Amino acid sequence: MEGFAIVTGASSGIGEAIARRLLDSGCNVIALQRRPPRFRHDRLQHHKVDLADAAAAQAIARTIAATHQVRYLVNNAGVNRPGVLEKATVEDLDYALALNVRAAMILIQAFSPGMRAAKFGRIVNISSRAALGKTQRTVYSAAKAGLIGMTRTLCLELGADGITVNAVAPGPIATELFDHGHPPGSDKRQQVIDSIPVKRVGTPDDVARVVAFLLAPESGYITGQTIFVCGGTSVSGSGGA
Ligand code: NDP
Ligand 1 within 6 A of 177 CB? yes
Query: pLDDT digits over 131-146, tens only?
Result: 999 999 999 999 999 9
Half-sphere exposure of 184 (CA within 13 A, CB side): 4
Calculate how far, in angstroms, residue 163's C-alpha sits from the geometric centre of ligand 1: 25
pTM of the complete model beyond 0.85: yes
Residue 203's Cβ-side half-sphere holds a number of Cα atoms within 13 Å equal to 4
The answer to whether 95 is a known catalytic residue is no
Sign of CA dihedral 74, 23, 56, 58: negative
Nearest-angstrom CA–CA distance, 145 and 141 = 6
| 138-158 helix and 90-97 helix, angle to the nearest 10 degrees | 30
* Other CB atoms within 10 Å distance of the CB of residue 182: 20
Q: Whose C-alpha lies nearest to ligand 1, atom 32? A: 78
Look up residue 111 and give its DSSP letter.
H
**For residue 21, which amino acid is it?**
R
| Ligand 1 in reach of 216 Cβ (< 6 A) | no
* Residue in 8, 80, 134, 151 to alter for ligand 1 test, most ligand atoms within 8 A of Cβ: 80
In angstroms and rounded to an integer, the radius of gyration of the C-alpha atoms of the chain is: 17
Pick from 179, 225, 236, 222: nearest CA to 202 = 179
- pLDDT tens digits along 186-211: 999 999 999 999 999 999 999 999 99
For ligand 1, atom 47: residue with the closest CA: 35
How close is the Cα of 80 to the center of ligand 1, in Å? 8
pLDDT digit string (tens) for 213-225?
Answer: 999 999 999 999 9
Supply the pLDDT for residue 123: 99
**Confidence tier at 57 by pLDDT (50, 70, 90):** very high
CA 55 to chain centre: 20
| C-alpha dist (Å) from residue 7 to 106, 108, 129 | 14, 12, 20
Burial bucket for residue 187 (CB in 10 Å: 0-12, 13-18, 19+) = exposed
